A and B are shown apart, each in its own frame.
Chain A
Amino acid sequence: MQHGKYRFIVGFLVAPLALYAVFVIWPFIQSIYYSFTDWTGLSPDFKMVGLDNYTRMFKDDIFWKSLQHSVLLVLLLPLVTLGLALFFAFMLNVGGRRRKNAAVSGVRGSGFYKIAYFFPQVLSIVIVALLFQFAYNPRSGMLNSALKGVGLDSIQPDWLGDPNLALICVMVVLVWSTVGFFVVLFSAGMASIPKDFYEAALLDGASRVTTFFKITLPLLWDTVQSGWVYMGILALGVEAFTAVQVMTVGPGGPDYATSVLPLYVYQTAFRDGQAGYATTIGVGLLIVTMVFAAIVMRLGRRERLEF
C-alpha cells in the first residue's frame, strides 16, 4: 500500500510545483536579492549595498505613512465590504417578508438587485476610478451637484482635494466596486444552507437578527473567511494601487494623504529609477501581507460544520 505512494504523489505535483517555483518563489527570491542592491532598473550594472536600503526605509516618513494607509485599508475595507455584502445577501435571500409555501425568501425584486449589485464587477477598476473622478469633481461632479440640488450650497467639499476626505473617497470607490461580487458569493453560500434550519428557528420565534447570527453566519463562515483573504489582497494590492493612481491628487496626495505601499513601490521603481529601494519596500509589503494572512487564518480557525 505504502509502496510507490511518494512516486505517485510526486508525479502529480512536479508540474504545478515547478510552475510555482519558477513564477512565484523565484521572483520572490529575486526581489529579496535586489533589495540589497542599488539597482536602478535602467541599466544592467549594480552593486550590493548591504542593509542600506532597509535602514533608509525605516527612516522614510513616506514609507510609514503609506504603510499606515495600507494597514488601514486592509483592516477597514474587508470589514465594511464583507459586512455590507453579508447584509445585502441576507436581505436578498432570507430577509424578505414571509410568503406562502416558503419558510424564507428574499425581499421583493431580489433577482434584480442581485444583478444590479454585480454590475460594478464587470467594469475594470480603472474605469470605475475614472467614473468616480467625475463624480468627485468639486465643480460639476454628481456629489456636489446633488448637494447644491438640495440647497446645501455652503457645503461643497473638494473631496479628493481634501486631505481629510481623500482616503475615505478612495475607500468608498473600492467598496462600491467589490461589494457586488461578495453579495453574489454569499448568496450562493446561503442558498446551500438547508431551509429546515430557518423553519425550525422561525417556529421557535427567532428574529431575523438572531437567525442571521445563529444560523447564517456560522454556516457561511468558510466563505466569509476566504472573502476576507481575497478582500485583503485587493486592499493591499492592485485594486488599491489603481484607484489611488488614477484618482488622487499627485497621485498619492494631497500631501501624501492617500499614498499606499504598492503605489510607493511603483513610484520609487519607475519614476525615481531606484528599483533596488523599491524592492526593499516590496519586501516590507510582503511582510505585511504575510502577517495579514496569518492573522486571518488564525482568527478564522473554527470547527467545521458538516451539513
Chain B
Amino acid sequence: MGSTSGHKNEGLGRRDLIKRSAALGLITVPTMSFLSACASSDGGGDDQVEKGKTSAKNPLGVNETAALDVVIFDGGFGQQYAIDAEKKYTAAFPKAKVKHSATQKIQSQLQPRFNGGTPPDLIDNSGAEQMDMGVLVDKKQLADLTALMDAPSIDDPNKKVRDTLRPGVLEMGQFDGDPVWIMYYAYTVYGVWYSQTNLEKLDAEYPEDWDAMLALCAKAKKQGVAGWTYPGKYPYYLPFSLYPFIAKIGGREVLDKIDNLEPNAWKDPAVKAAFEAYYELQQKGYILKGTPGLTHIQSQTEWTKGKALFIPNGSWVENEAAPTTPKDFKMMVAAPSGLDSSDKLPFGTIWASGGEPFVVPAKAKNPQGGMEQLRIMLSEESSKNFTKQVKSLSAFNGGTDGLTLSTAMQAGVDALKKAGDNVVNPRLQDWYVKLQKEQIGTAGIGEMMAGRLTPAEAIKKIQGYADAAAKDSSVKKYKHQ
C-alpha cells in the first residue's frame, strides 16, 4: 500500500472521499425531527381490553377472554410460585390465555416496551436490573392498585385485600398520597444473623445491649473467632442492622427525618451513638480481618464457617448461604442489640419490609387481569406455596400455620412477633438508591467500618451527600406521610 493522498488530478483522492462521507453523515442531521418519534412513539394506551362484568367471584371485573401477559424476575425466588398462581388464574378464567415469561433482565427487556407503550400486564420488577420505581410513578407509567386493595380477599369475602397484608407492605407501595402503585409480594426480615450453635459453643446468648455485645466479641476474640463480618464490597448491608439500631436509640422519628432528607438529620445524637458503637467494633478488632474486601457470598461463607459470629443481612441469606451452611448451624435472626437502657424503643425493634415489587403498568392491555393475578397470589394457599418453595415469608399476614419452618424462618416469625408495632421501615434504599448504596453505604459507612473514617467524619460526609441529594432537582423527592 503506497501513499494515496495528495496527488492532484487523479480524480477522487482519499481526503475528498473522507470529506464527502462526512458530508453524508451530516445529511442525517436535518432528520433530527424523527428522533422524538423514536423515544416518544405513543403506541397503545387506548387499546385496553374491555372490562368484564364484576361479580362476587370476579370483583375486579376481569375480561374473561382477555389474554394476560406476566413477566417474572427469575432470581433467588425462581418462577415456579408464579406459574402455580397462573394456573389458578386459568382455572378461574378458562378462556383467558396466560403468557408467562421469566427473565433476569427486567430492565433491558421491558424498558423498550414501556417506551413503546406496550408493557405487559403484571411485572415482578426485581433484581439487579430493577426499573426505578420512583421514575415510573413520576412518569405515570403505573396503574393504581387501590381497586385491588379494596377488593375482597380470596379466602374471606368479608375481608379486604388491604387488611390481609403484613405491616408496612401497603405503605411501601405508596409514594405520595393514597394511590398504591406497588405490591411487594415477599416479606423480608432484616437484622443480625447468627448461628445458635456457635453462640452455644461460647456459652453465650444473643446480647441485648452493647456492653454485652462487646463482652461477647471479646470472649470470641480470645477463641480466635471474630465478632462481626459483613459484605465489605457491598457495605450497604450494614444499614440492615444499623438503621433499626439508630431507631431503637433515638426513636423512629430519627429515621423518618433521614428518609425525608431533612437538614442535619444525620447529626442526631442517636446516629452518632450508633456509628460510634459500630466503629468501636472495628477499632477493637472485632471485625473479621479482610472483611472490607469480601463479597456478600464470601462474607457469608466465612460466617457459616464459624469465623465470625454475626452478620447484618436479610432473610434471603438462608437460601443464599445454604450450600455452605453446616447441618447443625441453627441459623437465627435477631433484632439489633440496643445501646443501653436509655434507648427510646425496646429490644426487638427490627427492620422488616416488602420485597419482590409487583407492578401493573398504566398502559397494560389487561390491567384488571394483572390485579386479579395479584389477588390470587395473596390468597393463603398461594402464599403458603410461595413460603414452602422459596423459604421466604410473603406479604400475606399468616400463611405459615401447618408448615414446618426452618430455624431461620421461625426466628424471623418470632422476631416479628416480638417486635409487634416496633417494625421500622427505612425507605432510603427504595427512594434514593444512589444515595443509599453508593454514597451512604459505600463511601460513608463502608469507609468508616474499614477504619478509614472516624464516625464524626463519616457523619459529616453522609450529611453532605444527603444535602446534595435534597438540592438535586433531577431526583424526585418523597416524604413519610
Query: Interface residues, chain A, CB within 8 Å of chain B?
Result: 2, 5-6, 9, 13, 17, 21, 25-26, 29-30, 33-34, 38-46, 56, 133, 136-139, 144, 156, 158-163, 248-250, 252-256, 267, 270-274, 277
Contacts and interface: CB of A to CB of B under 8 A. Distances in A.
Interface in B386-405: none
Interface in B1-46: 11-12, 17, 21, 24-25, 28-29, 32, 35, 38-42
Nearest to A1: B11
Interface in B117-174: 117, 129, 131-132, 134-136, 138-141
B294 A44 contact: no
Contact of A254 (B21, B24, B433, B442): B442
Contact of B111 (A17, A42, A162, A250): A42
Interface stretch (B180-188, B198-206, B285-293): B285-293
A157 B103 CA distance: 38
Nearest to B233: A249
A215 to B, nearest CB: 22
Interface in B401-459: 433-434, 437-438, 442-443, 446-447, 450, 452
Nearest to A33: B35
A280 to B, nearest CB: 11
B234 interface: yes
B295 interface: yes
Given A33-B32, A249-B233, A274-B474, A139 B302 contact: yes
20 contacts: A13-B21, A21-B28, A25-B25, A29-B29, A42-B114, A43-B135, A43-B141, A44-B40, A45-B139, A138-B289, A138-B291, A138-B293, A158-B232, A158-B293, A161-B233, A249-B234, A250-B442, A256-B443, A272-B434, A273-B135
Given A17-B21, A250-B442, A271-B433, A161 B11 contact: no
A256 B452 CA distance: 14
Given A137-B293, A162-B293, A38 B474 contact: yes
Q: Which 7 interchain pairs have the tightest Cβ spacing?
A: A138-B290, A161-B293, A161-B292, A43-B139, A273-B132, A273-B135, A158-B293
Contact of B290 (A13, A158, A267): A158
B58 interface: no
Contacts of B291: 138, 161
B107 interface: yes
B39 A46 contact: yes
Contacts of B434: 267, 271-272
Contacts of B28: 21, 25-26, 29
Interface in B277-332: 288-295, 298, 302, 307
B158 to A, nearest CB: 39
Nearest to A40: B135
A253 B292 contact: no
Interface of B: 11-12, 17, 21, 24-25, 28-29, 32, 35, 38-42, 107, 111, 114-117, 129, 131-132, 134-136, 138-141, 232-235, 288-295, 298, 302, 307, 433-434, 437-438, 442-443, 446-447, 450, 452, 474-475
Contact of A270 (B32, B107, B114, B115): B107
Contacts, number: 150
A272 B136 contact: no
Contacts of B450: 158, 161, 254
Given A40-B139, A139-B302, A254-B446, A30 B35 contact: yes
A56 B474 CA distance: 10
A159 B442 CA distance: 16
Contacts of A163: 452
Nearest to B288: A139
Contacts of B475: 272
A20 to B, nearest CB: 8
B227 to A, nearest CB: 16
A45 B233 contact: no
Contacts of B111: 41-42
Given A38-B474, A42-B132, A158-B293, 15 more contacts: A2-B11, A42-B115, A44-B39, A137-B298, A138-B293, A139-B288, A158-B292, A162-B292, A163-B452, A253-B438, A253-B446, A254-B450, A255-B443, A273-B131, A274-B474
Nearest to A277: B474
A273 B141 CA distance: 14
Name which of A144, A160, A272, A273 has the most chain B CB atoms within 10 A of its CB.
A273
B294 to A, nearest CB: 7
A277 B138 CA distance: 17
